[in-house]
Chain A
């Protein structure tokens, strides 16, 4: 008997430590992922605004010493065409990329392992007073060979969070303005929740209060099936069916808009909202309902005066979870929101969301580069948004709302 007790105790202890261990491991994993995410993301502000290993060079007599990434982009886009706009002499800007060197010299001219390249680049730069050359640092001509390096500012916090242009692959100077993406994500989620919440709440009330047993047994699995449809199918359906419908209905130039995205996301968030809200409504004690009915209230009065206020916190949690589902959705929005990185002025304009941006761009972003880091930083923002959402839902479900009854 004593032995059995001992054995039982040992098993108990063992299970206990196993459970502690798995809990600890999960926590460590989550912490590790978060640290990794933020470390990669904030690397963006430390790396130079033009590609690592490259530099911008001008003629030694050029008075310009520093440039902002936006200026560099505008120069290479021929938006800024004269040096006097940047504080230089009054002469037209001549842009030069490393591949242009082959217009001046052949591969053979540049020697074994391109050893003659710096010298030749020196000739080109000192021949043109108005040049700006984007070349690899290791082949850059030295000062004696006739060139001057221009400093480019790093991307700053405000460039990232308040910047309005998202051009991550622009060379030589990519722009990482995340504001349109952040606003796009929030707008699409907001539309989704505004559409889905009344509908979802209605269905939940119907299912738990009004529908008879047979109807519920039929509807419940159907709604759960909605959650099982892969998001890419929703996206395809949205692109082929919903987008043209929205375009015709509102007489718009394009069908791929924030509204279309919100509509599809609303359908996708419905199962979550319905099942959480229905659970909350069902948890209203029968005693409360009966008390209300006994006081002479009709069924409808009972629902909106007693049941819904009692289930309030559960319903709010359902709404917040629905928002969470919409914020993180990737594939469907990638296909139907048009992915244009502009700050939307109406809901009938294309938008680009954070998850769609990460999904579309991470594949070809060189690992460790600026573009890669900026995508991680977007991931951090998404992480913060979902964290805020889950904290809010936690706070709401802890609140005891029936006090106000």
Chain B
């Protein structure tokens, strides 16, 4: 009995000594943080990192309520959230930990291989309805979107549609994988997915953000040198008072070893 109690005490002491930190938020950033945390714990035995998903919004509200130390998000913090943190007397720190590119994909048999932002915006808001209007064959365009709760949806709306609304009655899929599946079996389809989800079953399009002067294909290289336009930063947010606690892990993720993990998980490193 005594031994058991002693054992528990030791565990408690040990746990108390641990440099524990919690990361919570976006499902998009989750694979990076998870992999980085695993490796970080291996190389720093007396630390612990707990990683949970739940969505960007959940991450930030947990940061406000103090149930997480780092909020990972796939979008920039909103004005309201920034305001709440500022009014609670805290200072927010923002770190870009990786980039994610959104690829525009179509069915492999589609002859169109490039589109401008204006054309994309026309397609997804319902102004352009047939592939022949953008240089393809006479075929109805079937745009697929994501569910409104997804960060990818928000980013696409902001970057490509410039905050306009998607056409009402657009098809919306619950996950990146389902989008790829649907596009691969629908001839007139067009959709957007994270770069990490690209596969041979669909054809990525080159995109132009300067009204057709230069078209760039999505790839890790073109996203890295910023020539591909639909790139979003992935963020870590923390409060300045927690800086000492979270600094080690963030430094690790930003180090060359950490950024290699970013690249291995299919995202674009910041440096």
Contacts and interface: CB of A to CB of B under 8 A. Distances in A.
Interface of A: 73, 76-78, 97-99, 113-114, 136, 164-171, 175, 180, 239-240, 243-244, 247, 253-256, 334-335, 338-342, 350, 352, 360-361, 363-366
Contacts of B16: none
Contact of A180 (B169, B170, B171, B182): B169
A37 to B, nearest CB: 21
B164 A76 contact: yes
A175 B188 CA distance: 28
Interface of B: 55, 57, 79-80, 83, 86-87, 125, 139-140, 142, 147-149, 163-166, 168-174, 178, 181-182, 185-189
Contacts of A240: 181
Most chain B CB neighbours (cut-off 10 Å) among A77, A136, A341, A364: A364
B142 A253 contact: yes
A77 B178 CA distance: 28
13 contacts: A77-B165, A78-B164, A97-B163, A113-B86, A113-B87, A247-B186, A253-B140, A254-B171, A254-B186, A256-B182, A335-B178, A339-B172, A361-B149
A244 B189 CA distance: 13
Nearest to B175: A335
A342 B142 CA distance: 14
A352 B169 CA distance: 9
A340 B149 contact: no
A247 B185 contact: yes
Contacts of B142: 253-254
A88 B87 CA distance: 38
A167 B148 CA distance: 9
Contacts of B86: 113-114
Nearest to B158: A99
A393 B140 CA distance: 44
A255 B148 contact: no
Given A73-B165, A98-B79, A335-B174, A360 B186 contact: no
B161 to A, nearest CB: 9
Contact of A360 (B168, B174, B188): B174
B163 A363 contact: no
Given A166-B168, A340-B172, A342-B169, A363 B79 contact: no
Nearest to B185: A244
Q: Nearest 9 A-B pairs (CB), nearest first?
A: A342-B169, A364-B149, A338-B171, A165-B168, A360-B147, A169-B148, A340-B171, A339-B172, A340-B169
Nearest to A338: B171
A338 B171 CA distance: 5
B148 A361 contact: yes
B106 to A, nearest CB: 13
A255 B186 CA distance: 7
Contacts of B87: 113
A384 B221 CA distance: 55
A99 B79 contact: yes
A363 B149 contact: yes
A361 B174 CA distance: 10
A175 B148 CA distance: 13
Contacts of A169: 148
Contacts of B170: 340
Contact of B178 (A78, A168, A239, A253): A239
A77 B167 CA distance: 10
